[in-house]
Amino acid sequence: MPERVIQPYVREELDGRDIGEAVVGDVERRLSVWERVSNIDAVRKLSVLVTLVVAWELYTRISDINELMFPTFSSTGTALYNALVNEGLLINVWNSLSLLLTGYGIGVGIAAMLVVFGVWTRFGSDLLTTLTAMLNPLPAIALLPMAMLWFGLGPAAIVFTLLHSIIWPVALNTHSGFMGVSETQRMVGRNYGLRGLSYIYKILIPAAFPSILTGLRIGWAFAWRTLIAAELVFGGQVADTSGQLGAEGSSAGGLGWIIFQNQMENQTPYVFAGLFAVILVGIIIENGVFRNVEDRTIRRWGMQIG
Amino acid sequence: MTDTTTETHVRPEFVVERLEAARDVDVERRLSLFERISNVNAVRKLTILLGLVVLWEGYTWIGKVEPLLFPSFSASASVLWETLLSGLMLEKVWITVYVLVLGYAAGLFLAAALLTFAVMTRIGSDFLSTMTAMFQPLPAISLLPLAMLWFGLGVPSLVFVTIHSVLWAVALSTHTGFMSVSETLRMVGRNYGLRGIPYVFMILVPAAFAAILTGMKVGWAFAWRTLIGAELVFGAASGEGGLGWMIFERGDNLETPYVFAALFTVIVIGLIVENLIFRNVEIGTVQKWGMQR
Amino acid sequence: MATGSEPAAGTAGTTPAVPAAPVLDVDGVTLQYKTKEHLITATYRVGFQTYPADRFVILGPSGCGKSTLLKGIAGYLHPVEGEMRLKGNAIRDPGPDRCMVFQEFDQLLPWKTVMGNITFALLNGGKCKSQDEAREIAHEYIRKVKLERFEDTYPHMLSGGMKQRVAIARAMSMEPDILLMDEPFAALDALTRRQMQEELLQLWDDTRFTVIFVTHSIEEAVIVGSRILIMSPHPGQVKAELNAHLHTHDDVGGEGFMALQNRIHGMIFADRVLEEETQPQHA
């Protein structure tokens, strides 16, 4: 601190001056077409995608890489087209999806019952948290060998494994979401006479919706991965023992099985085509379903995604 | 409120000059020992766990379940103990964990490289978000057939799919974390003269740490699932490996107590990673900083 | 118990004392709650009566159990001793005959619009049977709090003051026997708080509802209240009940106003020299 104390400089007051016209440049101006187009997200991402495809095609053509190791983009595209039109790839997609939906539906139902039980009693809550803590870190696919033992080689074994991959993340997130509902909102609900199930539906579920949606998403991601893995294992199992999977022809089995089978037959472009199909299904569910639900609910309500 | 002309009912004031002391109630009292013990989470959960074990054991004894289909808890536990003593289990654990650590570390490194690129340029950001949008929905395990084609049956294939399962989850979460760092914090950083790499590490990374940690947790979960799955597939396609392979092989030979012992081990590893490692990192960082969502 | 100490502003009001039955009768109520380790007595044998059209303020330093008392009246907590009667009936559970306005902004359901929040209360609280009827009533109350333009807005787009207005409209639309307000303006900035106090008095002038208003600001108590209950802390006990029906915003800083404010200040600080501050802790 300096020793001398500085006094504020008291000046005359200013008031009522006219505001002059702004004369420098435009007050508001549209950006150039180029600037505006390159500000569109989709345009930029699409060009990245196109560049990647071109790079892939050029790389595989110029370096003369073995088609069996790494097919060109064009042959992959042709294979995908062929598989879709001639070989009923859509049936394989449907086989996978129907298993997934069955497992998802039942799994979410069981999770919901567990959570309702967990909301009502402290014992239920403790049981739920203990079970989820134990079983959530266990990859569902590790149960497949036991499931095959219990239910045989078939859809039942896969659905059982899927259930395991869905129930725990959904239950865990929903339960912790319920626990985190603010005391104020709970009191508001009870103030207006809500109790029992209507309290859960009208207060807890919407208030915990961000967590529930996260749980549903994680459940879907785990289930999708487990399903593909299970189909691969099944493929391996069957190729190992009998060489045939239940039914004949490529229209049986799901996407994972198609990938496995084509790889066994060295049809690498078809393996890539299968992978494309897996990606497409993933993107459709992620953006078409979950994104949509998110936009209509928690984004619109201004809730934190968590 | 029916009568809108209601007037306030004015009544005399009063002041209590001397408050009587609250003698016959405790103003504050410790709860009883039982109440306090049953308020401890660990105690209640341990009790539940014990109850479940007893139920399992009782069910297999009384129900006379075929042990090949469903072994009793004691049989599974004794096999677990045996394999731990003989070192067999630890060997399997080591094989799996080795691949996991290798793949996880490589995945994190690649993610960091991609992210640095993405933070620096808009092209990088577009590239990263396009790639993650493509690869995030693709289960890493479905790349295993290709990996086996490219790298053969062995550790490199496993590492490849593990990297794939970690990379996109971490990159996606971190990237969105970076994007949502508040404008104020960014301005604070620039106010104090940070730019380039120091800006990333001193502002962006800590500010987005909650999202980064989430990404790492999701990445770990995917990696663990993918790896166990890949070992199972490997088992099917012959070869040798860690825990996943053990589960598959023993299941195939109907040695179900071994399968359950291996499943226990998988759970324990999962619990260690989630509750010891990640939980402690969380407590030491985002929770301490009060940033937990 | 000694009554007396001459009123600062005089009890000889213009209106004659109406010998009406009290809306709410709190009779020797002791409330306790548990934390993880302790059992805490929040209020000890608290008693008071609230009459129709009272703006009954409960004032006291933090830790005097005033919020706990309000939660007891709302039915979230059960007294271990004593009884609370609403129009003669003992209070057992929460119910829409006592509508609560909280301090926290998240009391509005974020998944419902302004209109939705009010119709939610009307329909679930059993006041309305049909959506149309509920919308009509909601519309009227939204107009009362001057938020017509924001009827279809979700709460996260509203400012703090607007959110509290919606909460007040929601509670008032139920036309409950008694409104319970738990420091509703404590989290607002000073200017908004003052405006909200004025609006609340305006609304009271229109409809003459009965309200219990909890606050820890002496000034707010004198402005808003017609009668002020002063509580002492640890555990909460009734210290005094004073009249403040003659004071509003118009005479803030006036002689009578200041006198009453100083008198309350003296009462609260008299027996606690080193207790914590009573200033609003800003949220």
Q: A212-227, pLDDT tens digit by residue?
A: 998 999 999 999 989 9
Which residues in chain A touch residue C75, judged by CB atoms under 8 angstroms apart? Answer: 190
Which residues in chain A touch residue B129, judged by CB atoms under 8 angstroms apart? Answer: 45
> What's the pLDDT tens digit per position in A187-196?
999 888 888 8
In this prediction the ipTM stands at 0.82
Q: Looking at the domain assignment, is residue A24 inside a domain?
A: no
Which residues in chain B touch residue A139, judged by CB atoms under 8 angstroms apart? Answer: 224-225, 228-229, 266
Mark whether A193 and A289 lie in a shared domain: yes
Parent domain of C124: 109-175
Which residues in chain C touch residue A303, judged by CB atoms under 8 angstroms apart? Answer: 110-111, 156
Mark whether B54 and B78 lie in a shared domain: no
Mark whether B55 and B182 lie in a shared domain: no
Structure tokens of A155? 């859809």
Instruction: Say whether A44 and B145 touch across the interface (CB within 8 A).
Output: no
Mark whether A154 and A49 lie in a shared domain: no
Mark whether A172 and A277 lie in a shared domain: yes
Q: Looking at the domain assignment, is residue C280 inside a domain?
A: no
- Quote the pLDDT of residue C278: 43
- Quote the pLDDT of residue A21: 63
Mark whether A134 and A246 lie in a shared domain: yes
Which among A187, A194, A203 is the nearest to C100, CB-wise?
Answer: A187
Find residues 220-239 of chain A whose CB sits inside 8 Å of chain B.
Answer: 221-222, 224-226, 228-229, 232-233, 235-237, 239
Instruction: Say whether C124 and A302 touch across the interface (CB within 8 A).
Output: no
Mean pLDDT in residue range A88-111? 90
B258-264, long-range: CB < 8 A, 24+ apart = B258/B79, B258/B83, B259/A145, B259/A146, B260/B71, B260/B76, B260/B79, B260/B80, B261/B76, B261/B77, B261/B79, B261/B80, B261/B83, B261/B89, B262/A142, B262/B89, B262/B92, B263/A138, B263/A142, B263/A143, B263/A146, B264/B76, B264/B77, B264/B80
Interface of B with C (CB under 8 A): 1, 3-19, 22, 25-31, 36, 39
Parent domain of B244: 73-287
Q: How many interchain CB pairs under 8 A, A with B?
A: 173
Does residue B192 sit in helix, strand or coil? coil
Q: Looking at the domain assignment, is residue A305 inside a domain?
A: no
> What's the pLDDT tens digit per position in A136-145?
888 898 888 8
**Last residue of one domain, picked from the residues C143, C158, C175:** C175
Which among C53, C210, C237 is the nearest to B19, CB-wise?
Answer: C237
pLDDT band with cut points at 50, 70 and 90 for residue A305: low
Mark whether A55 and A148 lie in a shared domain: no
Which among C7, C207, C235 is the nearest to B1, CB-wise?
Answer: C207
Instruction: Say whether B11 and C226 touch across the interface (CB within 8 A).
Output: no
Mark whether C90 and C186 lie in a shared domain: yes
Q: How many interchain CB pairs under 8 A, A with C?
A: 67
Place of tokens 């699409």: A46
> What's the pLDDT tens digit per position in A165-190?
999 999 999 998 998 888 889 999 98
Instruction: Say whether C100 and A207 touch across the interface (CB within 8 A).
Output: no
Q: What are phi and psi of B51, to 5 degrees?
A: -60, -45
Which among C15, C226, C243 is the nearest to B13, CB-wise?
Answer: C243
> What's the pLDDT tens digit per position in C88-98?
888 888 888 88
Mark whether A141 and A51 lie in a shared domain: no
Instruction: Say whether C5 and B22 touch across the interface (CB within 8 A).
Output: no
Mark whether B153 and B256 lie in a shared domain: yes
Helices (H), chain A: 33-38, 41-62, 73-85, 89-120, 122-135, 144-151, 155-179, 183-191, 196-199, 205-207, 209-241, 255-264, 268-283, 292-294
User: Looking at residue B153, which CATH number applies to its domain?
Assistant: 1.10.3720.10
Structure tokens of A262? 């084509």
- Quote the pLDDT of residue C213: 92
**In Å, what is the CA distance from C107 to each residue of A184, C77, C279?**
6, 19, 24
Which among C96, C154, C156 is the nearest to A191, CB-wise?
Answer: C96
Residue A207 has pLDDT above 60, yes or no: yes
Based on the structure, what is the number of domains in chain C? 2
- Quote the pLDDT of residue B186: 86
Which among B139, B145, B266 is the nearest to A225, CB-wise?
Answer: B139
Which residues in chain A touch residue B263, judged by CB atoms under 8 angstroms apart? Answer: 138, 142-143, 146
Find chains touching chain A: ≥3 CB pairs under 8 Å. Answer: B, C
pLDDT band with cut points at 50, 70 and 90 for residue A246: very low
Q: Looking at the domain assignment, is residue A254 inside a domain?
A: yes
Which residues in chain B touch residue C234, judged by CB atoms under 8 angstroms apart? Answer: 27
Mark whether B55 and B90 lie in a shared domain: no
Helix crossing, A89-120 with A209-241: angle to 10°?
130
Find residues 182-241 of chain C whose CB sits inside 8 Å of chain B.
Answer: 206-210, 226-227, 232, 234-235, 237-241
Q: Looking at the domain assignment, is residue C186 inside a domain?
A: yes
- Quote the pLDDT of residue C234: 78
- Quote the pLDDT of residue B40: 78
Mark whether A56 and A150 lie in a shared domain: no
**Last residue of one domain, picked from the residues C175, C200, C223:** C175
Which residues in chain C touch residue A301, judged by CB atoms under 8 angstroms apart? Answer: 110-111, 154, 156
Q: Lowest mean pLDDT: which of A87-91, C225-229, C245-249?
A: C245-249
Which among B134, B225, B259 is the nearest to A145, CB-wise?
Answer: B259
pLDDT band with cut points at 50, 70 and 90 for residue B236: low
CA proximity to B49, closest of B276, B264, B258: B264
- Quote the pLDDT of residue B5: 58
- Quote the pLDDT of residue C272: 54
Q: Does B190 touch chain A (CB under 8 A)?
A: no
Out of A62-66, B16-20, B52-56, C2-6, the most confident range is B52-56
Mark whether C132 and C82 lie in a shared domain: no
What's A178's DSSP letter? H
Instruction: Say whether A275 and B143 touch across the interface (CB within 8 A).
Output: yes
Based on the structure, what is the number of domains in chain A? 2
Parent domain of A273: 77-299
Q: Looking at the domain assignment, is residue C3 inside a domain?
A: no
Q: Write the secondary structure of A15-28 as one string of H (helix), E (strand) and C (coil).
A: CCCCCCCCCCCCCC
Which among A137, A237, A268 is the nearest to B270, CB-wise?
Answer: A137
- Quote the pLDDT of residue C18: 55
Query: Which of C25, C41, C213 is the mutation pick for testing B, counting most B CBs within 10 A?
Result: C41
The total of other beta-carbon atoms located within 10 Å of residue B258's CB is: 23
Does residue A92 sit in helix, strand or coil? helix
pLDDT band with cut points at 50, 70 and 90 for residue A16: low
Question: Cβ neighbours of residue C161 under 8 Å, at least 6 residues apart?
Answer: C188, C192, C195, C196
B12 prior amide bond cis, ω within 30 = no
Based on the structure, what is the number of domains in chain B? 2
pLDDT band with cut points at 50, 70 and 90 for residue B25: low
- For the whole model, what pTM was predicted? 0.82
Which residues in chain C touch residue B22, judged by CB atoms under 8 angstroms apart? Answer: 41, 44-45, 235, 237
**Last residue of one domain, picked from the residues C133, C156, C175:** C175
Strand-strand pairing, C98-101 and C178-182 = parallel
Mark whether B183 and B243 lie in a shared domain: yes
Q: Does A194 touch chain C (CB under 8 A)?
A: yes
Mark whether C59 and C194 lie in a shared domain: yes
Q: Looking at the domain assignment, is residue B216 inside a domain?
A: yes
Mean pLDDT of the residues in chain A: 83
Q: Looking at the domain assignment, is residue A26 inside a domain?
A: no
Instruction: Say whether C4 and B28 touch across the interface (CB within 8 A).
Output: no
Residue C207 has pLDDT above 90, yes or no: no
Per-position b or e across B169-195, b if 16+ CB within 10 A of its CB: bbbbbbbbbbeebeeeeeeebeeeebe
- Quote the pLDDT of residue A64: 78
Mean pLDDT in residue range A37-53? 85
Residue C283 has pLDDT above 50, yes or no: no
Residue C3 has pLDDT above 50, yes or no: no
Mark whether B83 and B157 lie in a shared domain: yes
Mark whether B175 and B258 lie in a shared domain: yes
User: For chain C, what percent of residues have pLDDT higher than 70?
Assistant: 88
Q: Does A301 touch chain C (CB under 8 A)?
A: yes
Mark whether A53 and A163 lie in a shared domain: no
Which residues in chain B touch residue C39, judged by CB atoms under 8 angstroms apart? Answer: 26, 28-31
> What's the pLDDT tens digit per position in B100-139?
999 999 999 999 999 988 888 888 888 888 888 888 888 8
Mark whether B44 and B175 lie in a shared domain: no
pLDDT band with cut points at 50, 70 and 90 for residue B2: very low
Mark whether A57 and A81 lie in a shared domain: no
- Quote the pLDDT of residue C242: 83
pLDDT band with cut points at 50, 70 and 90 for residue A162: very high
Mean pLDDT in residue range C55-71? 86
Mean pLDDT in residue range A65-78? 84
Instruction: Say whether A69 and B149 touch across the interface (CB within 8 A).
Output: yes
- Quote the pLDDT of residue A248: 41
Mark whether A260 and A289 lie in a shared domain: yes
Instruction: Say whether C96 and A192 touch across the interface (CB within 8 A).
Output: yes
Instruction: Give the chain A residue nearest B169 (alpha carbons).
Output: A221
Q: Does A139 touch chain B (CB under 8 A)?
A: yes
Mean pLDDT in residue range B265-293? 84
Which among A126, A236, A278 is the nearest to B237, CB-wise?
Answer: A236
Find chains touching chain B: ≥3 CB pairs under 8 Å. Answer: A, C
Instruction: Give the chain C residue nearest B10 (alpha carbons).
Output: C17
Instruction: Say whether A303 and C110 touch across the interface (CB within 8 A).
Output: yes
Which residues in chain B touch residue C3, judged by CB atoms under 8 angstroms apart? Answer: 12-15
Mark whether A54 and A193 lie in a shared domain: no
